[in-house]
Every structure is written in structure tokens, then in C-alpha cells.
Amino acid sequence: MEDRRSEIVAAEEELIEKAKKDGVETVWDRKAKMKVQCGFGLAGVCCRNCAMGPCRVSPVPGKGVSRGICGATADVIVARNFARMCAAGAAAHSDHGRSICLYLENASRDGQINIRDEKKLAAVAKRFGIETEGRDIYDVAHDLAAATLNEYGKPHGNLTLPTALPKKRREVWDRLGVTPRAIDKDIVSIMHSTHIGCSGDAENILKMSMRASLGDGWGGSYIATELSDILFTTPSEVETTANLGVLEENSVNVILHGHEPVLSEAVVAAAEDPELIALAKAQGADGINLCGMCCTGNEIALRHGIKMAGNFLQQELAVVTGAVEALIVDVQCIMPSLAKLSQSYHTKFITTSPKAKITDSLYIEFDEDNAYECAKQILKEAILNYKNRDREKVLIPHEKCDAVVGFSTEAIVDTLDKVVNSNIDQLQTVKPLADVILSGVIRGAAAFVGCNNPKVEHDGPIVKMIKYLIAHDVIVVVTGCAAHAAAKAGLLLKEAKEIAGPGLKKVCDLLDIPPVLHQGSCVDISRNLQLVGELANYLKLDISDLPVVGAAPEWMSEKAVAIGMYVVGSGIDAWLGVVPPVTGGPFVADYLLNKMEDDYGSKFFVEPDPDKAAEQMLQRIESKRKKLNI
């Protein structure tokens, strides 16, 4: 398999150069203008939680000011800031989940919102104790919508946790007092307790951070994935192409960027409308070329094979190509810079969500009750804009790469099932996976998740670490922007098995899969949780016993902080390539990097050097194997 890295970097540099020539600014320019970033902020010791402040205490223990005006210590300030990051991250993912619940509430046989996966509907309904026998599926769906919405704000009790969660893990949470109660409630608790004059105990604040984050992973995000599958189908293997080279010279190029699949599904359907295709042709274009970006890119790639235009750091570069008629967004990870940038080109920057209005964008509020017509209206804006493309200003990079995506847990289990032909219950079907891990053919599994960050070489660490691990017989799953990085580098191709170790290669041959499995968007990390949970259940182990690791080498968002917490809280060690703002709190930093292991059997590792991080991950896998005597 050829190494595409240098071509990928060259193609990106070409666009960055073009931006300079066009006199427009990108994220890297603004990063450079920021010069040296604030040391207090980096260490997490700056507090603005009340108007006696802002207070900044010394990031070096024993030196300078040690307490805020209210008396908060560095650890309390760091823990409060960290908790608020978890709260914001969990809120974003979980509110995405809520949108899907509300969408399901409006599903009807004759309307525009339909059930596409009845089997999954029945399975999820069962886990919420909803009767399905002999009932109309839409009645079941409405009950499920009500039950899932109730998980957000129920006043008493705990979250209805998925059956994939091992009993032993639940006991750990109960013992530590971090079992999630209700999704919104645990987020609100953080906001309350981190208000001036409330919690002054860093350890307790970290527990609250964990509780809300677990409510995201095993609650809000988990529900988002389950309900998206019910409404829009459960993904299975499908081919796509990745990187900005998917843009076309002679088509109306439309990029869908953001997160919730509700808008993007409607646009995908509308893009097939003969009326719109005819309109595009009447404008002199070959047709409509729909592409996805960031998590929306993952959502529509794994359900429809729609091309993946790029990840977080490519959103501005997409506009810089001069070939994009419309960039349509909903919520999250959308740079506000796009408004000004798109004005320097012909691109229409179309915002659609009241949750993410952006000044100077074209705002067309997405009408869920009239999704198809609304999507058509938005696409018409793009098509009619084709004539405004300035051919002199166009630079579409050549770089693109095919990829195989869509490995939901169900798809993985189906693939394994075909091999053993077991046709037995769900739990038994993870047996072949357990067998190859126990026998050592595969040493373990690693999940690569999270974002890009201009502090780090774009996609570099993600790709480097994945390559190292697959070469050492570790199977890899990817989601979010990390999934785009892998796709662009050719790691989602079946031929990538050629750079895998002999054991993993054998498994890839047998199952006809790539060594790196694309599991979807960031809320779909719930699919990772489900898979490792089922595996632990089958082996009668806790997740923390398994030779399984996770990494977010280029993380930047608050969502990634919540993810890191729920991944570690679930018993999986997590490697961060960007240092989180906790170094100014000696207790907090020590807890996350060391003591956490005593509580959860897993902890955080911070290692900016990708070579070292990948080696550490492998070592950790081997040490877990040793403990299991395998």
C-alpha cells in the first residue's frame, strides 16, 4: 500500500498558499497571530465565575498567588473549569440526541418521518421496557420517543443503562457515586456546583464531571446513535471517497457540515430529486455533487456512501477551492470565520439551526415538519449559485482516496456471524472476536476519536499512531474527525491489511474487512462502547480488564473532554496528544493521570509525541493481556 501522506500534505499546502494569494485568512493564520497563548489559561488556573474576579492563581504550587478572591484554590479552579468543559461537551452531544428523540416523536407511516430499521426499534424498545408484541411500530416508536426524552430530565432514579454495560462496571460506578441519574440533571448539577460559593472540593467536582460525561456516552450519545439507526437505517459496509479532491469541476458542489443527521438526511434525499437535477443541468452543470464534512460527513458516508470532503481543519480550505456553491451547516464545530471567508468567494454559507446562527451567513431555518421541501429550497440556493463560480479562482486538489465505511456494531457482528455461521444470540456472536483476541492473533483493539487542532500537524499524529498499532496486530476503530484522517490516508481500504501485522492481516483476509473500521461520528463512540461492553459481557469480565485502549491525538473540543472522561470512566485508558488545561491543579492532574486507575482501572495518558504514545498504547495492551494470562 502506497504512503499517501506527502501527497495529502502537499495538496493541503497548495490550498493554504492559495488562501494567502487570495488575501484571506485561515485558522493557521489566526493561530499564528495569537502568538504565545496565555499560560494561566493553558494551566486551567484562570477563573471568571464571578464578578469579584477574574482571578488567576499561580500555576506553580507554592509560588505567587495561591487562591482566588473567594478563597478557591488552584485545584478547585482547575476542577471547576474542567467540569464546565465536560458539561458543555455532554450538553452538545446530548442535545443532538434530544433532537433525534423529538424527530422520532413525529414519525408516522404516511408522513415524511419514517421508521427504517424495525429490528433495531424493537431491540431498543425492549431495553426501555416497552411492549412490542402485536403493536403498530409507530405506536412503539412514539413510546420510545417519550421514554428516551424522559431520560433527560427524570426527577428520580438513574439513567436506563444499555444492556451492553457490564454489571461489574455498573458496580464500580455505584461504589464511586458516579452512576448517571438523568442527562440534563447531571449537566445542571455541574453548573450549580461550580457557581461561586458552592463546591470547593476538587475530588467531588471531578466525580460530578464523570457522572455527566457517563450520561453523555451511555445516555445522550448512545440514544442519538440508536434512534438515528432506527430512523435512518443501521449502517453496514459501504464504499465512499475522502478528501477535498472529491469536489468536481463541472458539478454543483454542495458540502454538508455539522452534526445532527436530520438536516443532512433530508438534503441527501432532495439531491436525488429529478426537478433539482434538471435545474442543475439547466445551469450548465453535470449534476449535484453532494459531499459531507466533519461528523455530518461521517453520518451520511456510513449510511449512503456520500463522499467525505474533509475534517475540522478543512472547512475553510473547502471554501478556498473556489468550487463550492454552498456550505450548509447545522450545529457544532462550525468555524464562525466561514461567514467572512465565504464572502471572498461565491460560496453561500447557509446556517439552518436556531442553536447556531452566525452573523453574515444566509439563514434558512430548517423546518423539520416540512423537511423535504425545505431541503429542496436550500439546494436550489446552491444550484442557482453555480453560475457565479469564478473559474479563474478555482483550485480543486487532486488528492482523494477511496474508503470502506459503515461498521456499526451490528455490521461487525453480522460479518463475524457469517464466518462462524453461528446464527445464535447477540452475545455469542462476539465469540469469534473474543477468540482472536484471547488466542493473541489480534493483540487488542484501539479506538481513535476526536478532532484536529492547529497546535498539531493536521492528521499527522492520528495516522502515524494507527499505522503503528495495526502493524502490531491491534485492530483499530475510528470515529469523528479521526475517521476522516484515516480515510484520507487509505487506512479504511481493505488493501491496508498489507501494512497490518500477520495476525490482523489473517483476520482481515478471513472477514474481508479493512484493519481500521469506520464506526461513524463522535456520538457513535457509543458503538465502540457497545462493542467492548458486549465483549466484556461475553468473557464475564469488566471493560477495564480488556486489552483495549483509546486515543484522541488531536483533540480540541469540549465534547472531546466529555468523551475522554466517559471512555476512561468506562474502563478504557485514553491517550491525549494535546495537554488539557489541568496542569495548574496538582491534585486534579495527579488524579487524572494516576490515581484514577485505582478507582476505575483506567486513566488518562498525556503524550504529545505520537511515536511514544503509540508505543505506550501497545505496552498497555500487552500488560492487560499479561494480567489476563493470555
The stretch near ligand NFS (CB under 6 A) out of 149-157, 338-346, 553-561, 620-628 is: 553-561
CB 519 within 8 A of CB 407: yes
In whole angstroms, how close is the CB of 50 to ligand SF4 at the nearest point?
3
The full DSSP string for 266-287 is HHHHHTT-HHHHHHHHHTT-S-
Alpha-helical (H) ranges within 489-609 are 502-511, 525-538, 558-569, 586-590, 596-600
Residues sharing a CB contact under 8 Å with residue 565, sequence separation 6 or more, in sequence order: 86, 209, 210, 213, 214
433 binds ligand NFS (CB under 6 A): no
Q: How far is CA 515 from the centre of its chain?
A: 20
Q: Is 86 annotated as a binding residue?
A: no
Kindly tell me which residue out of 32, 69, 278, 419 binds ligand SF4, with binding defined by CB under 6 A: 69
CB 328 within 8 A of CB 267: yes
Q: Is 295 annotated as a binding residue?
A: yes
Torsion of CA 586, 587, 590, 594, to 10 degrees: 170
559 binds ligand NFS (CB under 6 A): yes
Instruction: Give phi and psi for 255, each to the nearest 5.
Output: -110, 130
Residue closer to ligand SF4 (CB basis): 85 or 413: 85
Kindly tell me which residue out of 10, 32, 34, 52 binds ligand SF4, with binding defined by CB under 6 A: 52
Number of Cβ atoms within 10 Å of the Cβ of 134: 5
Residue closer to ligand SF4 (CB basis): 55 or 329: 55
Residue closer to ligand SF4 (CB basis): 1 or 198: 198
CB 566 within 8 A of CB 213: yes
Interface residues for ligand NFS in 497-536 (CB under 6 A)?
A: 522
Interface residues for ligand SF4 in 477-506 (CB under 6 A)?
A: none
312 binds ligand NFS (CB under 6 A): yes
Binding partner of 481, given ligand SF4, ligand NFS, none, CB within 5-8 angstroms per partner class: ligand NFS
Which residue, 613, 599, 615, 614, is CA-closest to 211? 599
The three grid cell numbers given for residue 466, joined into one nine-digit string:
494507527
Binding partner of 333, given ligand NFS, ligand SF4, none, CB within 5-8 angstroms per partner class: ligand NFS
Q: Is 259 annotated as a binding residue?
A: yes
Q: Is 38 annotated as a binding residue?
A: yes
Q: Is 333 annotated as a binding residue?
A: yes
CB 223 within 8 A of CB 260: no
Q: Is 508 annotated as a binding residue?
A: no
**How far is CA 223 from each of CA 18, 96, 148, rounded to the nearest angstrom?**
42, 10, 7
Binding partner of 450, given ligand SF4, ligand NFS, none, CB within 5-8 angstroms per partner class: ligand NFS
Q: How far is CA 221 from the centre of its chain?
A: 10
In whole angstroms, how close is the CB of 56 to ligand SF4 at the nearest point?
9
Binding partner of 69, given ligand SF4, ligand NFS, none, CB within 5-8 angstroms per partner class: ligand SF4
Binding partner of 489, given ligand NFS, ligand SF4, none, CB within 5-8 angstroms per partner class: none
Interface residues for ligand NFS in 254-273 (CB under 6 A)?
A: 259
> For residue 73, what is the DSSP state?
B
Kindly tell me which residue out of 15, 24, 27, 55 binds ligand SF4, with binding defined by CB under 6 A: 55
557 binds ligand NFS (CB under 6 A): yes
Kindly tell me which residue out of 39, 53, 61, 200 binds ligand SF4, with binding defined by CB under 6 A: 53
In the chain, what is the straight-line distance between the N-terminal and C-terminal CA atoms, in Å? 32
| Angle, CA of 58, 64 and 65, to the nearest 5° | 70
Residue closer to ligand SF4 (CB basis): 16 or 191: 191
Residue closer to ligand NFS (CB basis): 458 or 559: 559
Which residue, 168, 169, 151, is CA-closest to 221? 151
206 binds ligand SF4 (CB under 6 A): no
Kindly tell me which residue out of 24, 279, 294, 324 binds ligand NFS, with binding defined by CB under 6 A: 294
The stretch near ligand NFS (CB under 6 A) out of 8-16, 177-185, 264-272, 557-565 is: 557-565
b/e 250-273 (16+ beta carbons within 10 angstroms → b): ebbbbbbbbbbbbbbbbbbebbee
50 binds ligand SF4 (CB under 6 A): yes
Q: Is 198 annotated as a binding residue?
A: no
CB 317 within 8 A of CB 12: yes
Which residues on neighbouring strands pair with residue 288, listed in sequence order? 252
CA distance 198 to 218: 28
The three grid cell numbers given for residue 607, joined into one nine-digit string:
503524550
For the chain, how big is the Rg over CA atoms in Å?
24
State the binding site for [4Fe-4S] cluster.
38, 46-47, 50, 55, 70
Binding residues vs ligand NFS (CB under 6 A): 259, 294-295, 311-312, 333, 450-451, 480-481, 522, 557, 559-560
Binding residues vs ligand SF4 (CB under 6 A): 47-50, 52-55, 68-70, 72, 77, 196
State the binding site for [Ni-4Fe-4S] cluster.
259, 295, 333, 451, 481, 522
